[in-house]
Structure 1
Amino acid sequence: MIEYQHLHHVSLSVRDLEKSKKFYTEVLKFQEIERPPFDSKGVWFAVGSQQLHLLEYPNGETLRESSSLDDGHFAIWVKSYRDTIAWLEEAGVPYEAKPDSIAGFSQIFILDVDRNIVEFDSEYGS
């Protein structure tokens, strides 16, 4: 069984990263936080104990028809990486696992029935 702990972050696709960054920092006063060196262009913010991640897509395209996991999504922190994988396998849900992600924590990605991305995060080795 998956043991949910809290919502970790929400990720949004934006057309102009600098314009969006200015809005979130200057208007909403979100605090920018360090982002790992992913291949995609983006920025992360602290929002209380959760995070907002912005990812730039200049043409405004959605990636639902592609295999990219960098599109808009929400992420849930789970107690156990291994138990979550076991639960998904038992339920027959396809997933992409990144146990040693450069994000600084383990990641598991699935698609819901409408191809929205759901991410499960946990401490390394949990």
Structure 2
Amino acid sequence: MTIHAIDHVTLRTDQLEQTIAFYRDAIGLQEGGRPPFPFPGCWLYAGGRPLLHIVANTQGEGLTDYLGKRETEQGSGCIDHISLSASDPVETQARLLRLEVPFVSRVIPERNELQLFLRDNNGVPVELLFTQTDIDQHDNPPTGGDRDE
């Protein structure tokens, strides 16, 4: 067996609509087609691929039979964060500021890649990663300052 890449991440939430809105509006993923599973949810796409599956934590046999019973607590359990490769760091920071999404920015030493760390409405940590090429495309590139509330 050969692993090629992470196919998708599934988030189970008690806040379906708010979670969809966060990843659509703050992160920029697009809602797309989803098979007719026996429980509510949404697939969000990046580059034509269903990257994020969001599932409503409903009390019903459909979800339990398909994925098993799990609690939806705040945070990410033993997963530290979700990292998404992104582009246009200036527009992204402006969007996060406009939506009042707190974030912390860092620059990876020696690689000069910009990281933005934020949390979704469920408390799941998200990293947006921008390459040096993305940063170089702007006259006033982000510097990696902090904005964490």
Higher relative contact order (CA 8 A, sep 6+): 1
Provide TM-score, normalisation by structure 2.
0.37
Provide TM-score, normalisation by structure 1.
0.43
Say which structure is richer in helix.
2
Based on CA coordinates, which of the two structures has the bigger radius of gyration? 2
